[in-house]
């Protein structure tokens, strides 16, 4: 059995509901990723520091701890707030390079050369620990992906572009007559994906599925006597029924617009 932890920063510890910061973040909705910079939803002190799971620093998080078999079967789930400490930060290419060392049996010289260019995990953990963890995660993720594809999963793989930029070019601001700098794309290339991308994707899917099951189960328990509706699906030989739950987190329907819909339906009948 393996224990896998999936973590996300606990932003709610720093951003209180309906606070000015919360309202500002709601207006922005999301961080905007441009080709040359990021416009963050939250101030940099949060997005880049306190709410960033940087290595070798204790950070507040929401965590899912999963006990799983090698074939991807989940035996146990735990959800809760936590304090985590990342021991090493890797890029996709770095992670895949480490995984490959477990598959190709490199020489001591090749392994030493690789270690020169890779970030070192915080003590007492070693490169071997990092290698073992990534190898296990990759093995289970590969099995999870195979099961999903066999069950008819839809692939959303698409081309992504990387842009290259020359030195900043001076640009005159229309209203201030001051000179600022901007970056114009000089060229582009297709972003190359490797199996490390699939590794992260599979574990994110597992996390989303686990949270969905947890929320659905607790939603049913909290209905306090209200009978949840049933969804009937015609499967050919017999009908199957599942419990359904409607969760709304947006505003209530506008009565006037709803009336227009009723009138339109009446006219079309």
pLDDT digits (tens, 9 = 90+) for 62-113: 999 999 999 999 999 999 999 999 999 999 999 998 898 877 776 667 677 7
> Would 145 be classed as within a structural domain?
yes
> Would 33 be classed as within a structural domain?
yes
> Would 48 be classed as within a structural domain?
yes
Examine the domain organization and report whether 195 and 126 are in the same domain.
yes
Examine the domain organization and report whether 57 and 122 are in the same domain.
no
Domain final residue, candidates 140, 168, 202: 202
Examine the domain organization and report whether 195 and 104 are in the same domain.
yes
More confident residue, 149 or 182: 149
Examine the domain organization and report whether 197 and 97 are in the same domain.
yes
> Would 266 be classed as within a structural domain?
no
Examine the domain organization and report whether 196 and 117 are in the same domain.
yes
> Would 67 be classed as within a structural domain?
yes
To which residue do tokens 């001591």 refer? 108
With b for 16 or more beta-carbon neighbours within 10 A and e for fewer, the 37-74 pattern comes to: eeebbbbeebbeebbeeeeeeebbbbbbebebeeebee
> Would 66 be classed as within a structural domain?
yes
- Residue 237 confidence (pLDDT): 53
- Residue 152 confidence (pLDDT): 83
Examine the domain organization and report whether 81 and 97 are in the same domain.
no
Examine the domain organization and report whether 17 and 94 are in the same domain.
no
Examine the domain organization and report whether 13 and 1 are in the same domain.
yes
Average pLDDT of the residues in 147-169: 78
**Range(s) of the domain holding residue 132:** 89-153+191-202
Contact criterion met (CB below 8 Å) for 16 and 22: yes
| Distances, alpha carbon 145 to alpha carbons 139, 148, 202, 204, in Å | 10, 5, 7, 12
> Would 230 be classed as within a structural domain?
no
Domain final residue, candidates 30, 55, 86: 86
- Residue 179 confidence (pLDDT): 43
Report the predicted TM-score, pTM, of the whole model to 2 decimal places: 0.72
- Residue 100 confidence (pLDDT): 87
Q: Which of 119-123, 180-184, 185-189 has the highest mean pLDDT?
A: 119-123
> Would 229 be classed as within a structural domain?
no
Tokens (6 digits) for 110: 């090749």
* Banded pLDDT at 118 (limits 50, 70, 90): confident
Domain count, the chain: 2
Examine the domain organization and report whether 116 and 198 are in the same domain.
yes
* Banded pLDDT at 165 (limits 50, 70, 90): confident
Contact criterion met (CB below 8 Å) for 139 and 195: no
- Residue 3 confidence (pLDDT): 96
């Amino acid at each position: 059995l393996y224990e896998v932890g999936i973590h996300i920063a606990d932003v709610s510890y720093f951003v209180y509901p309906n606070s000015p910061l919360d309202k500002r973040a709601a207006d922005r909705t999301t961080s905007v990723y441009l080709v040359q910079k990021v416009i963050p939803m939250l101030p940099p002190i949060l997005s880049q520091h306190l709410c960033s799971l940087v290595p070798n620093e204790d950070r507040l998080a929401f965590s899912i701890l999963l006990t799983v078999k090698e074939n991807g079967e989940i035996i146990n789930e735990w959800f809760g707030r936590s304090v985590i400490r990342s021991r090493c930060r890797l890029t996709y290419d770095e992670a895949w390079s480490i995984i490959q060392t477990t598959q190709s049996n490199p020489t001591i010289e090749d392994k030493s050369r690789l270690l020169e260019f890779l970030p070192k995990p915080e003590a007492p953990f070693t490169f071997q620990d990092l290698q073992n963890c990534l190898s296990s995660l990759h093995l289970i993720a590969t099995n999870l992906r195979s099961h999903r594809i066999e069950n008819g999963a839809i692939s959303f793989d698409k081309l992504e572009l990387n842009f290259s930029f020359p030195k900043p070019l001076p640009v005159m601001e229309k209203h201030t007559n001051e000179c600022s700098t901007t970056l114009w794309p000089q060229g582009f290339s297709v972003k190359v994906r490797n199996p490390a991308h699939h590794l992260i994707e599979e574990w994110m899917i597992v996390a989303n599925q686990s949270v969905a099951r947890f929320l659905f189960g607790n939603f049913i328990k909290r209905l306090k006597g209200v009978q949840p509706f049933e969804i009937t699906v015609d499967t050919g030989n017999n009908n199957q029924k599942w419990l359904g739950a409607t969760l709304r987190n947006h505003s209530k329907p506008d009565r006037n617009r709803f009336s227009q819909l009723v009138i339109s339906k009446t006219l079309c009948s």
